[in-house]
C-alpha cells in the first residue's frame, strides 16, 4: 500500500516516524514551504520535512494546493492512500486522488470539538474526557466517516502541552491500527451523529488570551492550563503555536505595566470579595482574587524574560499594596 503523508509540526513528525518504524511504504511527503525562523530569519524546514530528508522520502512543498503541476505530481506517485496529520484543509481535487481515500487524525472524539484547536478547547471548557479519531476526509471540516476512536481521561490540572504529547503518542498507535485495517480491507466506517450538545474548537485568537478576573477561579484555571506550554514545572513544549499562554497586566506603584503570562496555576478557596486584589508573602506565593475564589500562580513569564517559578519571580519583584492587576 503506497502512502503520501501530509503534515507540518512535531506532532505530525512523531506520527510519521512511528509509522515508518512499522514499515509502511511512504512514497512522498507534502509539507508547506520552508519558513524564516529565529533571530537570523533563516529558512528552516518544518519537522515533517526533516523526517522525510532523514529517510530519503521525496518532499513536495507546494505554494498552492490547487496548483495543477502539484496535483499532476501527486497523481504520478500512484498512491493508494493519503494520510493527513496537522495540516491545512485539502481541496477535493487533492483528497479525492487516491483510490482508498484520504484519512485524517483529529485530536478529539468527533463529532465533538471539530475545528483547529480541540486540544485547547476541551481543557478551557473543563472536560473530563477527550480522545483521538481517524476518519475519511470529505468536503466539510472534520465531518467525514469515522474509522477508529480512542478515549483519553483528563484531570483538573492537565495542561495543553501534556494533552498534546499524550495524543501525539496515542495517535501514532491509532494511525497504525487504522492503516492496518484499511490495508487488510477490514475497515468499518461510521457516520458522525450530530447532537445539540456538540461543541466546536475554533482557532485560538489573541482576544481570548487576556484573563478576565471577573470570571470564576475554575474558569480562569481552565483557560490557563488550556493554553499552557508546560509539561511539568520544568519542561516546556517547544510548539508555542499550540500553547500561546493566558496573560494579565501587572501595574506597579509607578504606573509601569508588565505583561505576564501564567503557565501553571491552582485554585485556592477564598471568602475575599475584593476582585483582583493580590495576596502574597513576597517569598513563596502570589494569589489573585477572582469572582469567587483565588488563582495561585505557580509558574509565569514576564514579557521579554524566561519562564520562572513564582518563588523566582518574587525574589526579584517585591509586590506592594500599590500594585494593580489589570
User: CA-CA distance, 25 to 250, in Å (whole number)?
Assistant: 54
Which sequence spans correspond to the domains of the chain?
2-183, 206-325
Identical topology for domains 2-183 and 206-325? no
pTM reported for the whole predicted model = 0.94
What does the pLDDT read at residue 42? Answer: 80
CA distances from 156 to 11, 225, 264 (A): 24, 9, 12
Provide the 3-class DSSP secondary structure of residue 303. Answer: coil
C-alpha cell recorded at residue 25 = 511504504
Q: How many Å apart are CA 156 and CA 124, to the nearest integer?
A: 11
What does the H/E/C string look like for 149-205?
A: EEEEECCCCCCHHHHHHHHHHHHHHHHHHHHHHHHCCCCCCECCCCCCCCCECCCCC
The CATH architecture one would assign to domain 206-325 is: Roll (3.10)
**pLDDT (0 to 100) of residue 23:** 94
What pLDDT score was predicted for residue 239?
64
Percent composition of the chain: helix, strand, coil (DSSP 3-state, to 5): 25, 30, 45
Please tell me what DSSP assigns to residue 75: H
In order along its 326 residues, the chain shows pLDDT tens digits of: 999 999 999 999 999 999 999 999 999 999 999 987 766 678 889 999 999 999 999 999 999 999 999 999 999 999 999 999 999 999 999 999 999 999 999 999 999 999 999 999 999 999 999 999 999 999 999 999 999 999 999 999 999 999 999 999 999 999 999 999 999 999 999 999 999 989 999 999 999 999 999 999 999 999 999 999 877 666 677 665 678 899 999 999 999 999 999 999 999 999 888 999 999 999 999 999 999 999 999 999 999 898 999 999 999 999 999 999 99
CATH no., domain 2-183? 3.40.50.12230
Which residue spans within the chain are E strands per DSSP? 2-7, 25-30, 35-37, 42-44, 59-60, 81-85, 102-106, 129-136, 146-153, 246-251, 257-268, 278-280, 286-289, 294-302, 308-309, 324-325
Beta-carbon count within 10 A of 250 CB: 21
Distances (CA, A) of 57 to 19, 25, 139, 163, 285: 13, 10, 29, 30, 52
In contact, 170 and 176? CB cutoff 8 Å: no
CA 132/CA 77 separation, integer angstroms: 29
What integer pLDDT is reported at residue 273 of this predicted model? 84
Task: Give the separation between CA 64 and CA 62, rounded to whole angstroms.
Answer: 5
Amino acid at each position: 500500500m503506497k502512502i503520501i503523508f501530509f503534515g507540518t509540526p512535531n506532532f505530525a513528525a512523531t506520527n510519521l516516524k512511528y509509522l515508518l518504524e512499522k514499515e509502511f511504504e511512504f512514497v512522498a511527503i507534502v509539507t508547506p514551504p520552508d519558513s524564516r525562523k529565529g533571530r537570523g530569519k533563516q529558512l528552516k524546514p518544518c519537522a515533517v520535512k526533516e523526517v522525510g530528508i532523514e529517510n530519503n522520502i521525496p518532499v513536495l512543498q507546494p505554494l498552492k494546493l490547487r496548483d495543477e503541476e502539484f496535483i499532476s505530481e501527486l497523481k504520478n506517485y500512484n498512491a493508494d492512500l493519503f494520510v493527513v496529520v496537522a495540516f491545512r484543509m485539502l481541496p477535493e481535487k487533492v483528497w479525492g486522488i487516491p483510490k482508498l481515500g484520504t484519512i485524517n487524525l483529529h485530536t478529539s472524539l468527533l463529532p465533538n470539538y471539530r475545528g483547529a484547536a480541540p486540544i485547547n478547547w476541551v481543557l478551557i471548557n473543563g472536560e473530563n474526557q477527550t480522545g483521538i479519531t481517524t476518519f475519511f476526509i470529505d468536503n466539510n471540516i472534520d465531518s467525514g466517516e469515522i474509522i477508529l476512536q480512542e478515549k483519553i481521561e483528563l484531570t483538573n490540572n492537565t495542561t495543553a502541552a501534556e494533552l498534546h504529547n499524550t495524543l501525539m503518542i496515542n495517535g501514532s498507535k491509532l494511525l497504525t491500527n487504522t492503516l492496518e485495517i484499511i490495508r487488510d480491507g477490514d475497515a468499518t466506517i461510521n457516520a458522525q451523529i450530530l447532537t445539540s450538545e456538540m461543541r466546536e474548537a475554533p482557532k485560538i485568537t489573541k482576544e481570548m488570551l487576556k484573563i478576565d478576573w471577573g470570571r470564576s477561579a475554575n474558569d480562569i484555571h481552565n483557560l490557563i492550563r488550556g493554553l499552557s506550554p508546560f509539561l511539568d514545572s520544568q519542561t516546556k513544549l517547544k510548539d508555542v503555536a499550540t500553547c500561546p499562554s493566558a496573560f494579565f497586566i501587572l501595574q506597579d506603584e509607578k504606573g509601569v505595566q508588565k505583561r505576564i503570562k501564567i503557565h501553571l496555576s491552582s485554585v485556592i478557596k477564598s471568602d475575599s470579595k475584593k476582585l483582583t486584589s493580590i495576596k502574597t508573602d513576597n517569598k513563596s506565593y502570589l494569589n489573585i482574587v477572582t469572582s469567587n475564589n483565588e488563582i495561585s500562580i505557580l509558574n509565569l513569564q514576564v514579557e521579554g524574560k524566561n519562564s520562572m517559578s513564582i518563588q523566582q519571580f518574587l525574589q526579584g519583584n517585591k509586590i506592594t499594596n500599590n500594585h494593580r492587576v489589570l
